[in-house]
Every structure is written in C-alpha cells, then in structure tokens.
Amino acid sequence: MPLSGHVPDLGAIEVLLAVAHAGSLNAAAGEVGVSQQAISARIRSMEAQTGVVLVSRGPRGSQLTSDGVVVAEWAARLLDVAAELDAGLAALRQDHRQRLRVSASLTVAEQLLPGWLVAFRSAAQRRAGWATEIELTAVNSEAVINHVRDGQADLGFVEGPIVPSTLRTRVVGHDELVAVVAPTHPWTRRRNPVTAAELAATPLVTREHGSGTRNALDTALGRALGTGYDHAEPAISLSTTTAIRSAVLAGAGPAVLSSLAVSDEISRGQLVPVPIAGLDLRRTLRAVWLGDRQPPAGPVRDLIAHITTQFAAQPIG
C-alpha cells in the first residue's frame, strides 16, 4: 500500500524528535546544530504536510501539542526501524565488499579462474593488506546466466555465443574449440581434414544442454551448414570436461572441447587433435553481471578490471 503525501521524510521526523527531547525549539536547534529559525521553518512545513498542529508557540516558548506528543511517539518507533534498516544496509555493503559470489562455466572455472583469482587476491593483499573472500560455483553457461539474473551470483563468466540482453557483459578473453579423438580412432589415419558435415553426422561425446561448449559448437555448425543441418544424436552427454576426456580415451567417440581443457592430453599423446575443414571454432569468453552498463563498484569491478588489464594481452587457448 503506497504512503500518502502526508507522511513526512525522516529528516523532518528527526527534527520533531529533537524538539520533543530538548523541550523547546531553541534547545532543539542547539541539539541539531542549526538555527532556531530553521527548526521553526521545518516544523511549520511538517505541520502543513501532515495537516496536524505539532507545536504550540507562546510567550513562554514552544512545546509539543498533545497531537505532537502522539506523532512523536509514532515517529520514534519509525526511526528505530529506519536505524535497523540503515545498519542492515551497511552490513550488506560491507559483506559485498568482503565477499564476492562468482558463478563460472566449467572451462573458465577449471582452466582460467584459479590463476585469475590467485593473482587478484595477491594484488589486493599487497595493496590493502586484505583480500575479498570469493565463493566460486562451477556450472554450465546457462546456469551461470540464471544465477546472475536471479541474484545468486554477483558476477558470472560464460563461454556461450549468446548472452541475454537483460545482462551486461564484457569480453575477458578468447578461446578455441578443438576436435579430439583417442589415438586408435580412424580419424587419426585420415589424410584429409574432417568436414563440418562429417562432424555433424558423427555421434559425439558432448556436454549437456546449456553448456557453453555445446552451444558454441552448435552455433559454429549452424553458420557452416545452415540452420537446418542434420546432426547425429550424441554418443553420450556428460556434465564435466573430465568425464568427457575419460570417455574419449575409452573409445566412446570424438569430442569437441576447449583447447585449454585438452592441451596436456594432446602434448602427452593421449588425445589426438583432428582438423575440421570449414568450421570456425573460435569463441569469446565474457564476464556478465546485472545492472548498469559499468560493472558494480567494489569487488566485481575490481576483479573484471584486474583480469582485463593483466590478462587481456596474453593469448588464451
């Protein structure tokens, strides 16, 4: 229920309570630190707004009317609640400065954020002597977007090609997907690259729906083959990159994963990269948040700035 225009603001209420506490306009002026004329003008304005005579003025001074006493009692309770609200807001601001809730897609959470966060905390310790506590949740890109949109995360990192217009974004890096197979897979003996159509027709070991990696591959295939292209059902859908790597090694089929996630296995010869002709598998990594175009002041803005200034010049993937 909206308040009527007769309810005074908290500043006017504080003046009324000063009069009630001090016992006169002159004493209240000294308590508040303004002139008696200013106190008198504020009380008259409050009386005009409320439609109630609050102060009786006479030769011997001024004092609250009986109505003024009742209003002051109500106002005191209101200020108590306002003080609780003020203290609560201060605690939330302090909590947001000291704690940052981050949700990140698995590729970013597993391959990039650990290094980013260690460097960020070290820089904060050197600069201020303390560092923000960071709570990291690793989920797929769709869940990251939901966490940020629903207020469960202050900041998100996604790898998918599409971000809702309700969220703000900033590019924090770039990545490239790579098709990989086990060393015994027939594709390792091919002389010519696999085509985009062949890849689409092959049952793949893939991430679940909502994964940024899966969405990026679907988008790349759609650009190469047209939106109505035929594609095979996945050989198996798994929720983690580690599980997909293990399945590929076990011979479940090819997979398309971030080059960041398979670089070690490729260097050791456990997985073999397979070139795909006519398919652009580059993608952009983004920070996402809810609100204004600029990231919220505090840890969110500080972390994004640290990442973009310290790592933007370094190649990722």
Q: What is the count of structural domains for the chain? A: 3
Whether residue 78 is found in the same domain as residue 60: yes
Whether residue 277 is found in the same domain as residue 179: yes
What angle is formed at CA 28 by the lines to CA 22 and CA 33, rounded to 5 degrees?
A: 135
| Whole-number pLDDT of residue 311 | 57
Whether residue 299 is found in the same domain as residue 160: yes
Task: Find, among 166, 167, 165, the residue nearest to 157 by Cα.
Answer: 167
Q: Residues 138, 140, 145, 147: is their CA dihedral positive or negative?
A: negative
pTM over 0.85: no
* E-state strands within the chain: 55-58, 61-64, 99-104, 133-138, 155-158, 168-181, 194-195, 205-207, 236-238, 255-258, 272-274, 276-277, 282-289
Whether residue 291 is found in the same domain as residue 155: yes
Whether residue 185 is found in the same domain as residue 256: yes
φ, ψ dihedrals at 311, nearest 5°: -120, -10
Here the CATH number for the domain that contains residue 68 is 1.10.10.10
Whether residue 56 is found in the same domain as residue 137: no
| Whole-number pLDDT of residue 180 | 98
Whether residue 214 is found in the same domain as residue 84: no
Last residue of a domain, one of 95, 114, 147: 95
Rounded to whole angstroms, the Cα distance separating 248 from 202 reads 14
Instruction: Give a yes or no: residue 1 inside a domain.
Output: no
Whether residue 208 is found in the same domain as residue 279: yes
Rounded to whole angstroms, the Cα distance separating 44 from 35 reads 14
Residue-range definition of the domain harbouring residue 272: 174-283
| Whole-number pLDDT of residue 37 | 86
Helix (H, G, I), strand (E, B) or coil at 52: coil
Q: Looking at this protein, which amino acid is placed at residue 123?
A: A
Rounded to whole angstroms, the Cα distance separating 107 from 263 reads 13
- From first to last of its 317 residues, what are the pLDDT tens digits of the chain? 677 888 888 888 888 888 888 877 888 887 878 888 888 888 889 889 888 898 887 766 678 888 988 988 888 888 888 878 877 776 566 655 567 899 999 999 999 999 898 888 888 777 766 668 889 999 999 999 999 999 999 999 999 778 888 999 999 989 999 999 999 999 999 999 999 999 999 999 999 988 999 999 999 999 999 988 888 999 999 999 999 999 999 999 999 999 999 999 999 999 999 999 999 999 999 999 999 999 988 889 989 999 988 755 444 44
Instruction: Give a yes or no: residue 90 inside a domain.
Output: yes
Here the CATH number for the domain that contains residue 159 is 3.40.190.10
Here the CATH number for the domain that contains residue 223 is 3.40.190.290
Last residue of a domain, one of 47, 71, 95: 95
| Whole-number pLDDT of residue 317 | 42
Instruction: Give a yes or no: residue 118 inside a domain.
Output: yes
Instruction: Give a yes or no: residue 4 inside a domain.
Output: no
Q: Which residue has the tokens 């990231």?
A: 295
Rounded to whole angstroms, the Cα distance separating 220 from 196 reads 9
* Entry field: residues in the chain: 317
Instruction: Give a yes or no: residue 3 inside a domain.
Output: no
Whether residue 88 is found in the same domain as residue 188: no
Whether residue 182 is found in the same domain as residue 263: yes
Whether residue 123 is found in the same domain as residue 150: yes
Whether residue 126 is found in the same domain as residue 191: no
